[in-house]
């Protein structure tokens, strides 16, 4: 099944050499229009996202991370997600903040390949986000788990963002000075359908074509303006956007954003990011396992989501 998804149709490689822009304030997220017009009479080239062609100047629809069509190239608009999007994140070693919480609900202390979020319980689903955790250690020698890679898949595309192996003290390798200088030991590798591709160097997106449309990958500043760090972001055509970010004095972070259309009650989404129903969690937290049952035991919950397919890529 997974192997059949590997059909790689085409790669539209756009140049990406622009410096990081400052976020544009007060973005009007409602200006995107879906018309198949090659230049909208403005003279600029159109851009494709998903299976839709957008005229020059339009802001993308159906995504949480916003991009604007600038004469044939998608450019990111800051790093704040669209209002109303679901947010799941993890930082540290790693402390998970699921969709329905704005605080850490549990930490993961085991290595493995896990489902982060997907629409349903099958392994795999039609699209989703998986993550690979590996053992890593604090300078004190205590073993925790670190984010090694994050994988987004949809029909015809498997895209992984991979960090260096956390086999030695990742705090030294990925500290702020190295990260800001894009140091070789803390760079993020981009894999598309099993092949290494150049990691985007700016906010202008590279575009990869799957069976259902185009998916975008670009570099953005970390959402925390206090940090001179960067993230590599993926915007899928099915309503998920995500970013893998370097972090200062700590382990890497990831963010997954889900479009408001994916919020349902009962939930459409399941995985380590847990459900997204719009109902605040009540303590003690009920987590939903891969078998569809709920549990207050976070180890049972976490283990149930192990063994995710497709496997996150590591070199």
Chain positions contacting ligand NAG, by CB under 6 A: 111-113, 132, 135, 143, 178, 183-185, 311-314
Residue closer to ligand NAG, measured from CB, 118 or 132: 132
Nearer to ligand NAG, 146 or 232 (CB): 146
CB of 208 to ligand NAG, least distance (A): 19
When the beta carbons of 50 and 312 are compared against ligand NAG, the nearer one is: 312
Q: Between residues 16 and 145, which has the closer beta carbon with respect to ligand NAG?
A: 145
Whole-number Å distance between alpha carbons of 243 and 253: 8
What is the full DSSP assignment across the chain?
A: -HHHHT---EEEPPP--PPPPPPPSS--TT-------SSTTTSSPPEEEBTEEE-TTPBPSS-SS-EEEETTEEEE--SPPPTT-EEEEEETTTEEE-TT-SS--EE--S-EEEEEEBSSSSSS-SSEEEEEEEEEE-TT--EEEEEEEEEEEETTEEEEEEPPPTTS-HHHHTSHHHHHTT-GGG--EEEETTEEEPPP-SSBPEEEE-SS-EEEEEEEE-SSTT---EEEEEE-TTSEEEEEE--TTS--EEEEEE-GGG--SS-S-BSTT---SSPPP-SSPPEE-TTS-EES-HHHHHHHTBS-SSPPP--
> Given the complex with ligand NAG, which of 107 and 314 has the nearer CB atom?
314
**Could you tell me the smallest distance in angstroms from the CB atom of residue 168 to ligand NAG?**
7
- The smaller minimum CB distance to ligand NAG, of residues 91 and 313, is found at 313
Q: How far is the CB of 194 from ligand NAG (least distance, A)?
A: 10
Residues 231, 190: Cα–Cα separation, whole Å: 12
Q: How far is the CB of 112 from ligand NAG (least distance, A)?
A: 4
Burial 181-209 (b: 16+ CB within 10 A, else e): eeeeebbbbbbbbeeebebbbbbbbbbbb
Taking the complex as a whole, the smallest distance from the CB of residue 287 to ligand NAG amounts, in Å, to: 21
Q: How far is residue 63's CA from residue 9's CA, in Å, rounded to a whole number?
A: 22
In whole angstroms, the minimum distance from the beta carbon of 141 to ligand NAG comes to 10
Cβ closer to ligand NAG: 79 or 113?
Answer: 113
Minimum gap (Å) between residue 13 Cβ and ligand NAG: 25
Tell me how far, at minimum, the Cβ of 80 lies from ligand NAG, in Å.
31
Residue nearer to ligand NAG on the CB measure, 87 or 247:
247
Q: Which is nearer to ligand NAG, 16 or 151 (CB)?
A: 151
Cβ of residue 199: shortest distance to ligand NAG, in angstroms? 16
DSSP-assigned letters across all residues of 6-24: T---EEEPPP--PPPPPPP
């Amino acid at each position: 099944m997974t192997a059949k998804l590997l059909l790689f149709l085409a790669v539209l490689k756009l140049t990406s050499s622009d410096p990081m822009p400052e976020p544009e304030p007060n973005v009007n997220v409602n200006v995107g229009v879906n018309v198949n017009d090659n230049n909208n009479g403005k003279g600029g080239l159109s851009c494709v996202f998903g299976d839709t062609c957008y005229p020059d100047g339009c802001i993308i629809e159906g995504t949480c991370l916003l991009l604007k069509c600038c004469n044939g190239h998608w450019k990111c608009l800051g790093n704040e997600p669209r209002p109303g999007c679901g947010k799941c994140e993890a930082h540290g070693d790693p402390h998970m903040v699921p969709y329905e919480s704005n605080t850490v609900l549990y930490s993961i202390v085991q290595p493995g390949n896990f489902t982060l979020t997907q629409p349903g319980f099958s392994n795999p689903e039609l699209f989703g986000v998986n993550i690979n955790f590996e053992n890593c250690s604090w300078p004190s020698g205590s073993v925790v788990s670190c984010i090694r890679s994050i994988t987004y898949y949809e029909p015809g595309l498997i895209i992984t963002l991979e960090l260096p192996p956390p086999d030695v003290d990742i705090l030294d390798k990925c500290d702020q000075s190295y990260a800001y200088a894009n140091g070789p030991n803390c760079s993020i590798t981009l894999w598309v359908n099993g092949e290494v591709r150049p990691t985007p160097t700016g906010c202008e997106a590279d575009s990869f074509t799957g069976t259902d449309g185009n998916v975008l990958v670009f570099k953005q500043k970390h959402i925390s303006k206090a940090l001179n760090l960067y993230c590599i972001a993926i915007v899928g055509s099915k309503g998920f956007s995500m970013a893998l970010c370097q972090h200062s004095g700590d382990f890497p972070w990831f963010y997954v954003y889900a479009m408001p259309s994916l919020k349902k009650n009962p939930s459409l989404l399941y995985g380590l990011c847990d459900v997204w129903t719009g109902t605040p969690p009540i303590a003690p937290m009920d987590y939903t396992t891969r078998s569809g049952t709920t549990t207050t035991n976070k180890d049972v919950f976490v283990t149930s989501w192990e063994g995710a397919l497709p496997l996150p890529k590591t070199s």
